Amino acid sequence: MDISEIIDPLNPAQREAVTAESGNRLVLAGAGSGKTRVLVHRVAWLIRVEQAPPWAILAVTFTNKAAREMKARIEEILATPIGGMWVGTFHGLANRFLRAHWQEAGLPHSFQILDADDQYRLIRRTLKALELDEARWPPRRAMGFVNQCKDEGLRPRHLDDEGDPYRKRMIAIYREYQSACERGGLVDFGELLLRAHEVLREQAAVRHQYQERFAHILVDEFQDTNAIQYAWLRLLSGDHDNLFLVGDDDQSIYGWRGARVENIQSFQKDYANTTVVRLEQNYRSTGNILTVANALIAHNPSRLGKRLWTNDGAGEPVRQFAAFNELDEARFVIERIRQHIQVDGYRRDECAILYRTTAQSRLFEEVLIQAEIPYRVYGGLRFFERAEIRDALAYLRLVANPDDDAAFERAVNTPPRGLGPRTLDLLRDQARAAGTSLWRAARDQLEREALAPRAAKALRAFVALIEQQRARSDRPLAALAADLLVATDLPGFYLKGKDDRGQDRVENLEQLVDTVARFEAETSEDEGDAGDRLASFLAHAALEAGEAQADPDADGVQLMTLHSAKGLEFPIVFLVGLEERLFPHSLSLDDPRRLEEERRLCYVGMTRAMHQLYLTHAEKRHLHGKETYPQPSRFLREMPTEPVESVRGSRAQSRPTPQRHGQEADDGLRLGQRVCHPTFGEGVVLDCEGRGASARVQVNFADAGTKWLVLAYAKLAPAAQ
């Protein structure tokens, strides 16, 4: 029997995992260590060497794409089809199981699966049936409650309201929603796993059938399993000791959506006879990148432990840049990208900018557009295409032109005002008959008192809001935008949604105010009155939301959140915004478990880099609509100093627009002068700019690297000669 094609491509640790005898195996696969290869070759080994029939193998992946690729690679190695093998996602496999056992599951033969949008619409109908106001009981919040309960394996009958009126109402919504699903023969994603688990738990004959069938159960990305998924696996395996689990507790970053890192951390306690294999040889990153990443993740106390290494040499040092502000940071990053493209020969899509929150992408997009460098926002919408930004822009468009029907349609019931479809249909019919705009039709209906009292009250409040803002539209654009957010309560609306994007959406709205302010500052000398400036900004926003982004397959710089970067790799990575309260995020600072997940997220971001890793932070940043002076992230302090090199930006590209460059600062400090700082020690003055309260200097400190300091607060003194 020729097994060379199976084992020859493997290193010793991979070979140990692939050729292991029967028994539970936990393969701790570090970033870039070849975990997919191990899974593929393990299945090939089971079929060819151990003569396991394909139908006796169950392989769980986390995406359908990964399942297809795994099956194709197995068939390529074996040079034969593997029909009968169950390979797919948890939800896909649960669906396959329920299709075969619909009667035992109490489902109709042709049950329908609800996707997320379908589920959301059914939740809304449920709220209407219970006569609940969506403003008080947001559908997204109710949907999140239902899904969380199902992920934990809980039915309404298992829940106790604990004397909490809010929880009592949520349980009632869950109960009514589930009744609607039962009446319609509908199954949402959470129900797939929960119903399959219940059949396996309660139907001994069915459970025994599958425990005997699946002699080998393999699971990818085990660190991302939730409670019901782990319980499902335990029922399928029974006491057969046939689990082969591949995962990395250091890359568990989805706790906010139900993943439990405890599953992988406690697996050896649940299964005492488990053998652990560590895959620590990394085939992606240079030695210096791994040294810094290893040092960072070592600060998590509850990890299982491993240390990545490579045979490919140390490579370039990890480079750290301290920017004066977020614009300085963006200009530095884009200038370095330009250098890597033009000088080093990298493609644009080999450069990635990773950030903690979606709002951070806006400034990088702006500078990339100015530099005429194509880009792509991976796994998300560009800034001006995001729903919350388009909602806010709709109000600005109505202030500029109340006859804008598209803006009226978007804004009139966002946030919900109690204007029902009948009222809106009436306005549309009136506008169509009179050949006028929805705005004029609304005013006409109010003047003629043609609407029901409740609808009239809601519509009158909306019209008054727009008119008040129009009456004060001669004020600065940033003030107009900020006042509109307060008057409309769009931030509160999105926070009440309680979905996993609510906080991000609020930060994006705050970032919009900063964007408007920057636009006004840059164009105030070129534009006329405030109305012209507002129209100009709206045109700018419309054009930026156009074709500047690269096509998915085009050669464009990659922009993405750190969560979106999981599973990807790039030759050059810029990990930006490494500041306290931004990364780690402010919501994690008081929760040790959340802080550990933030550190894992940073580790994931760093280990996306193949050849070059940049770490940047700003000493001044507009955050949540305010100017802040953040501390550098604790993650930077947790990294070793030897493989990290502090770098200076190119003055032409990475400097903020200067008010004055001079040979001497306001307090008499000169370029080239040695100074002393109470925290950073001794350094040399490299540059100075600004006057008065905004005067600042750039100092290269021997130990702390290059920093921009505001003179009013820096407490610099001439160094002793």
| pLDDT tens-digit readout, 72-88 | 999 999 988 888 899 98
What is the average pLDDT across 117-145?
89
Characterize 273-293 residue by residue with b for buried, 16 or more Cβ atoms within 10 angstroms of its Cβ, and e for exposed. Answer: ebeebbbbbbebbbbbbbbbb
d(CA 100, CA 228): 20
Query: What is the enclosing helix (H) or strand (E) of 126?
Result: helix 116-129
d(CA 320, CA 380): 27
Lowest mean pLDDT among 60-74, 86-100, 494-508: 494-508
The residue with greater pLDDT, 185 or 143, is 143
**Annotation marks residue 666 as catalytic:** no
The band of 688, judged by pLDDT with boundaries at 50, 70 and 90, is confident
The residue with greater pLDDT, 503 or 379, is 503
Contact 216, 58 (CB under 8 A): yes
d(CA 666, CA 657): 18
**Annotation marks residue 251 as catalytic:** yes
Give pLDDT, residue 347: 95
Catalytic residue among 134, 176, 191, 220: 220
What average pLDDT is seen over the chain? Answer: 88
**Annotation marks residue 35 as catalytic:** yes
In terms of Cα–Cα distance, which of 421, 426, 432, 417 is closest to 450?
A: 426
Distances (CA, A) of 96 to 91, 234, 396: 9, 18, 49
**Annotation marks residue 36 as catalytic:** yes
- The β-bridge partners of 186 are 112
d(CA 9, CA 65): 23
Please determine, for residue 664, whether its predicted confidence score (pLDDT) is greater than 60. no
**Annotation marks residue 511 as catalytic:** no
Contact 394, 402 (CB under 8 A): no
Task: Fill in the DSSP letter of residue 549.
Answer: B
Distances (CA, A) of 352 to 44, 366, 547: 35, 16, 20
Give the residue ranges of the annotated binding site.
29-36
Highest mean pLDDT among 106-120, 228-242, 531-545: 228-242
The band of 642, judged by pLDDT with boundaries at 50, 70 and 90, is confident
Give the residue ranges of the annotated binding site for ATP.
29-36
Catalytic residue among 141, 397, 608, 634: 608
Give pLDDT, residue 11: 95
What is the average pLDDT across 8-34?
94
Catalytic residue among 14, 15, 25, 35: 35
Please determine, for residue 694, whether its predicted confidence score (pLDDT) is greater than 70. no
Distances (CA, A) of 140 to 137, 278, 386, 476, 501: 9, 40, 17, 35, 10
Catalytic residue among 61, 119, 211, 251: 251
Give pLDDT, residue 652: 34
Catalytic residue among 188, 221, 248, 388: 221
Give pLDDT, residue 613: 98
**Annotation marks residue 532 as catalytic:** no
